[in-house]
C-alpha cells in the first residue's frame, strides 16, 4: 500500500511511519520538521499544515504526484490548554487550522482519487477530548469534537464508494505533544499510552477485511495520572 501520513516526523505519525515501512509499505510523510529517519520507501515532504495560504495547491500537487494513494493517516495536531481569554486570536486560528481545517483540506484532495479507484481508507487521529469537554480545553476540545463530527458525516458520505473512515481517540500518549504544555502524563507505564500502541491499532484497522469498517476506537491508559510541570522560573 501507499500511505500518506501527516505529522510524520514525531509522535503517533512517526510511529505509524515506522510500523508501515517495516511491513513493506510505501509512506509519503508530511511534516513541518525534518524526518528523523530515512528509508527507500519513504518520501518526506516539508509542509506546514497550520498555514492555510496556498495549502490547497500544495496538497493537490502531492495528491497528483503520488496518485493513487491507498490510505491516509491524519495525525498532525497541537495542544492548546488554558483559559479562553489567555489565547491570542492567532493561537486559536493556528490550532483550528492544524487540528481541523488541514484535515478537511487533505481529505478533500484525496477522496476523488479514492472514489475513482473504488477503495481507500481515511484514518483520523482524534482525542479523548472529542468525547467530553473539560475546563481549560475549550479550543482543543472544539477542534476534536469537530473532527469527530466530520469523521461520522464523511463515513456516511463515502461508504458506498468502497472508502472506509476510522477515527482513533487516544487518551494521553507519551510523545513530544506535551513538550510545550504545562502538564504531562505520569511517569509509570500505566499512566500513558505509547505511540507504538496507537500505530499497532491503526495497522490492525488497515489490514482488516475490506468489507469491514471499524468506525471509532477509544484508547485509554490504565490509569489517568497527570503531572503538572514545575515552573523553572520560580
At 32-70, the pLDDT tens digits run: 999 999 999 999 999 999 999 899 999 999 999 999 999
Q: Is the pLDDT of residue 185 over 80?
A: no
One of 3.90.1150.10, 3.40.50.720, 2.40.10.10, 2.60.40.10 is the CATH number of 2-228, namely 3.40.50.720
Q: Are 83 and 127 in contact (CB under 8 A)?
A: no
- Please check the confidence at residue 76 and state whether its pLDDT lies above 90: yes
With a pLDDT cut of 70, the percent of the chain lying above it is: 98
What 3-state class would DSSP assign to 42?
A: strand
**Residue 140 a catalytic site member:** yes
The pLDDT, as a whole number, for residue 234 is: 41
Residue 172 confidence (pLDDT): 84
**Cα–Cα distance measured from residue 126 to residue 114, given in angstroms and rounded to the nearest whole number:** 22
**What's the confidence (pLDDT) of residue 179?**
77
Please, what is the angle between helix 195-206 and helix 11-22, to 10°? 50
Average pLDDT along the chain: 92
Residues 85 and 70: their CA atoms lie apart, in Å, by 42
Residue 227, pLDDT > 90, answer no
Residue whose cell numbers read 476523488: 112
The angle that helices 89-96 and 138-158 make with each other, rounded to 10 degrees, is: 30
With contact defined as beta carbons under 8 Å apart, do 17 and 33 qualify?
Answer: no
pLDDT computed for residue 55 by the predictor: 94
* Nearest-angstrom CA–CA distance, 18 and 41: 11
137-178: pLDDT as tens digits:
899 999 999 999 999 999 999 999 999 999 999 988 888 777
Q: How confident is the model at residue 232 (pLDDT cuts 50, 70, 90)?
A: very low
With bands split at pLDDT 50, 70 and 90, how would you rate the model's confidence at 210? confident
pLDDT score at 233: 46
Cell digits of residue 229: 510541570
* Bond into 68 cis (ω within 30): yes
What is the arithmetic mean of pLDDT over 167-194?
A: 84
Q: Give 81-134 pLDDT, tens digit per residue.
A: 889 999 999 999 999 999 999 999 999 999 999 999 999 999 999 999 899 988
Amino acid at each position: 500500500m501507499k500511505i500518506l501520513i501527516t505529522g510524520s516526523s514525531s509522535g503517533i505519525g512517526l510511529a505509524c511511519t515506522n510500523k508501515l515501512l517495516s511491513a513493506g509499505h510505501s509512506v509519503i510523510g508530511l511534516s513541518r520538521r525534518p524526518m528523523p529517519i530515512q528509508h527507500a520507501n519513504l518520501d518526506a515532504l516539508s509542509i506546514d499544515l497550520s498555514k492555510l495560504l496556498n495549502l490547497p495547491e500544495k496538497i493537490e500537487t502531492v495528491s497528483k504526484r503520488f496518485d493513487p494513494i491507498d490510505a491516509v493517516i491524519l495525525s498532525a495536531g497541537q495542544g492548546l490548554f488554558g483559559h479562553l481569554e489567555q489565547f491570542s486570536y492567532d493561537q486559536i486560528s493556528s490550532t483550528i487550522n492544524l487540528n481541523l481545517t488541514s484535515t478537511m483540506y487533505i481529505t478533500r484532495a484525496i477522496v476523488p482519487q479514492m472514489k475513482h479507484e473504488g477503495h481507500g481508507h481515511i484514518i483520523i487521529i482524534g482525542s479523548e477530548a472529542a468525547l467530553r469537554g473539560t475546563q481549560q480545553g475549550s479550543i482543543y476540545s472544539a477542534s476534536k469534537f469537530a473532527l469527530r463530527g466530520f469523521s461520522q458525516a464523511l463515513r456516511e458520505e463515502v461508504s458506498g464508494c468502497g472508502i472506509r473512515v476510522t477515527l482513533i481517540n487516544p487518551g494521553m500518549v507519551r510523545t513530544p505533544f506535551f513538550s510545550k504544555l504545562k502538564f504531562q502524563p505520569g511517569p509509570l507505564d500505566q499512566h500513558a499510552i505509547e505511540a507504538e500502541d496507537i500505530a499497532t491499532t491503526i495497522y490492525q484497522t488497515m489490514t482488516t477485511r475490506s468489507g469491514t469498517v471499524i468506525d471509532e476506537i477509544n484508547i485509554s491508559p490504565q490509569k489517568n495520572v497527570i503531572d503538572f510541570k514545575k515552573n523553572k522560573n520560580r
